[in-house]
Chain A
Amino acid sequence: MINSSLLKEFTDLLGRENVFTDKADLVTYSYDAAVLDPVVPAVILRPANYELVGKIVGLCNENSVPVTVRGAGTNLSGGTIPSANGVVLVTNALNNILEINEEDMYAVVQPGVITAKLAAAVEAKGLFYPPDPGSQAVSTIGGNVAENAGGLRGLKYGVTKDYVMGLKFFDAYGNDVKTGSRTVKCVTGYNLTGLMVGSEGTLGVIYEVILKLIPLPSHRKSMVAVFDETAKATETVAAIIAGRIVPATLELMDNFTIRAVEKFSKAGLPLDAAALLLIEVDGYPAQVEEDAEKIESICRKKGATSLRVAKDASERDKIWAARRGALSALAQLKPTLVLEDATVPRSKIPEMVRAIEDIGKRYNLAIGTFGHAGDGNLHPTILTDKRNKEEWKRVEDAIKEIFEKALALGGTLSGEHGIGLAKSRFLKNEIGAGAILFSKNIKSALDPKNILNPGKIIGE
């Protein structure tokens, strides 16, 4: 429980201006981007330096108070929905890029650094930090690491976990833990870095991250391929992968999504297309040209009605800005948007897309599908109104069926959005009782009082 003496300790530590207890402040930390009911926490703490983070966690443990770490609060699975009697620890004041090392190609950052700001700072030095979630303009590195966020470039460059070389975090007792290093290779001790990535704030609070950087590709080419049937687009995706070409980005948008996005972005997307593929290849000029040619011929062979190559950087930026706007653009069509994240092996993309279309029809729901088709990660997006109980029931059933189909195709429940509260009850269908027991054992050994973001991933 948070009693007045604990509250006083927090205030003494952080200063009054970084401790919020007014109801009107608490309510603004009761939600994230997931469609779940908000939970109003007891206090918000916004530490201005990392040492305070350890002290806060230590105090929470002593007093058995749950603590939920929050970066930008953009996760889509309820990972930052706090406990009613708990603390929300906001990391956005810990936002320094501590080092960008050009010689050894790594960066050391605090958890509250905004993804896009890091990417820009690194790019200014001719280096590249590839993970680029659609939310990168606001998401934090801490949140990216804790969700193992992906992005548009996952296909060729991987996801956040592929760039985390090392971490510093506070465990449930507030002990300082260091893992990994600034070296390319490191096998010293358990791979705690691997354990922490994607742990959604349930195993420790990350306060410093060492990130791998790579050279910035010298050339890029973006194109838009237009299809008059969705099946042709998805078959093209499978054919490109089967053709051993690895574009940096290979994104799909169905007609529903195209129309919503164009309304907002005015990027000149063809409104009558059944589906689009947004493709980017990068690397050395010769390689870029060769890949682009191959992709073009595959697209044509598979029946693309047209293919447009971005003329310049601004046209290219427009295409990607349009894609990044997809989720939110869909959101304006109906009061509630449910975004799914089921992912399948890439060859199964055509079948998965067909299944989603079929589920949408059977449950009479508006489903827009877009996403990282190239890495098998689709975002079927159901538009609904949660206030309509009858429809909401259909939505829940449809989601279940989408999950079942993805698993039946050898896929996974979530490619990148995490489990949080939203999907924890589906977890055992995929990973099985053994993995759940093992995870619960880890959790209870490391956090015996269950204070770190309780209820997330493995449930209570």
Chain B
Amino acid sequence: MIEERFDAIVVGAGMAGNAAALTMAKRGMKVLQLERGEYPGSKNVQGAILYADMMEKLVPEFREEAPLERHLIEQRFWMMDDRSHVGMHYRSEDFNEERPNRYTIIRAQFDKWFSSKVREAGAIVLCETTVTELARDGRGRIVGVRTDRRDGEIHADVVVLAEGVNGLLGTRAGLRARPTPDNVALAVKEMHFLPRETIEARFNLKGDEGVVIEAVGTISRGMTGMGFIYANKECISLGIGCLVADFQRTGQTPYGLLDHFKRHPSVAPLIAGSEVKEYSAHLIPEGGYKSIPQLYGEGWVVVGDAAQLNNAIHREGSNLAMTSGRIAAEAIGLVKSRGEPMSATNLSVYKKMLDDSFVIKDLRKYKDLPPLMHTQSENFFLTYPQLISKAMQNFVRVDGTPKAEKEQATLKSFVKARSWTGLFGDACRIARAWR
């Protein structure tokens, strides 16, 4: 079976790879997909929020079939100092709609299901197979892969690299640079199991309603980072991630940070009495627009996390992965339908199509934010959260101090910590980067 030649080989059965393999197989192309895990999903970690719009474009009926946890009706943002959090919550009955917009999922389960759709569409999916090398012809074009399953090369017209954030194959082959400590974050995560009713009571939910909490502040100890708490049906996903460069610089341990987050007085009651069933860790691309590498070449395209397509500001990744996988597959289909070779010139249509999609448009919008957050991490993740907490406490505590004096004290604390020029500069920098 494997001696044949394929129209396309897809490396990886994550979100990007499954989207690409499904799209090509549906078009009747002969697709081989290779995944190193025992089953699709066994190597993958996500929060995880699934965005329905992008999923619908791939499997319109996914709501009836896919293993979904809860549909989200509420989003909480927390800014934390060591003893408090200031929150902004958005909850709306509008999200209890017929076709909900966002769901929590569990990746190992979801990916298995997604992969079953890829097989149904006619692709050959081989798990427990690590691709070890890209195969080239005499002119340096990518013509296939080598795996650890058997000797020799497997050939295809085009190789879709959906190998995730580490992207070992592409970096070893010199197609793009290795991720650097300042363009990837390390996240650690635990799965906390509790009875369904307990989760619903603690998070103020009924039925399959869900809520997610994103948290920043002193929990990352001055590093660029974010914590998250997502409600699933019978468990809570809880984790925290910070830039690898910051871990390297500060000597903080990821598990120390995670346990500190879990013990925070705002967090501990949510997971009290839970049974932990897994501890995981994964990198997240954080470099944004400026770190997107070359996306195509002679006989290859790269999609998803491997191409750093991740919107760290909005915590979107899987949807960019799915969309880039689908668009790459459509581009390949286009080249094939014209009977043309999978050359760099012809495959450049992938980049054009991606540039026109929300993927590149969103990343371009925030192109200056990652560097700003990374160089000013102490201010944004330590100083401001503490100041804001103090201001809130000043505002709500009733102790006989006249309000005008309280406001003066709040203002003074801000100026003392950051100076007028510092405050003004930070405001301008954020506004500019956000625009």
Q: Do A and B bind each other?
A: no
